[in-house]
């Protein structure tokens, strides 16, 4: 029962952070603030992918212990099955690595776009940029 309550608390916290991030992206007029909130959203999604793939009792890292560069003993299938019954889901970690890398590239590109925008309009406020564009369009 306590486990279910704690788990529900963690899941609802993650969902509320996602909701707040979406709110921040929609409402904030400063483009740097939007970028910061977007990066928080990305990190929360990566965290969610790892947390939602947790399983009860699977607590050890997905690395087979006792193997090094020079010491790599033959392992029986039984030992390997024991390992697979305790190790966490590696797919979530793979997803998190790939997601964070691609998200990093998106953030970098958006960062450069922000710099280009600041260079052109001398402001980071999206409302001012809109006014500037409308001003140039209609004279």
Q: Which helix (H) or strand (E) holds 19?
A: helix 2-27
Residue 48 is given by DSSP the state H
What are the residues whose beta carbons fall under 8 Å from the beta carbon of 53, sequence distance 6 or more? 88, 89, 91, 92
Nearer to another protein, 89 or 132 (CB): 89
**What spatial distance separates the first Cα and last Cα of the chain, rounded to whole Å?**
66
Q: Which helix (H) or strand (E) holds 21?
A: helix 2-27
Q: Does 98 bind another protein (CB under 8 A)?
A: yes
Provide the mask over 39-78, with x wherever binding to another protein is found by CB under 8 A and - wherever it is not.
-------------xxxxxxx---xxxx-xxxx-x-xxxx-
Provide the mask over 108-127, with x wherever binding to another protein is found by CB under 8 A and - wherever it is not.
xx--x--xx--x--------
Q: Which of 30, 90, 122, 128 binds another protein (CB under 8 A)?
A: 90
Q: Two tokens at 4?
A: 């279910």
Nearer to another protein, 37 or 139 (CB): 37
CB 11 within 8 A of CB 108: no
Contacts with another protein by CB under 8 A lie at 3-4, 7-8, 11-12, 15-16, 18-20, 22-23, 26-27, 52-58, 62-65, 67-70, 72, 74-77, 80-81, 83-85, 87, 89-91, 93-94, 97-98, 101-102, 105, 108-109, 112, 115-116, 119
């Amino acid at each position: 029962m306590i486990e279910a309550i704690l788990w529900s608390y963690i899941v609802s916290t993650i969902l509320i952070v996602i909701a707040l991030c979406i709110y921040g992206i929609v409402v904030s007029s400063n483009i740097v603030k939007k970028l910061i909130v977007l990066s928080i959203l990305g990190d929360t999604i990566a965290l969610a992918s790892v947390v939602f793939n947790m399983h009860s009792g699977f607590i050890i890292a997905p690395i087979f212990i006792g193997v090094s560069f020079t010491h790599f003993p033959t392992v029986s299938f039984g030992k390997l099955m024991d390992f697979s019954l305790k190790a966490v889901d590696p797919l979530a970690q793979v997803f998190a690595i790939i997601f964070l890398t691609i998200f990093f590239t998106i953030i970098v590109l958006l960062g450069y776009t922000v710099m280009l925008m600041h260079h052109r309009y001398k402001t980071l406020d999206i409302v001012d940029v809109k006014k500037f564009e409308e001003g140039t369009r209609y004279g």
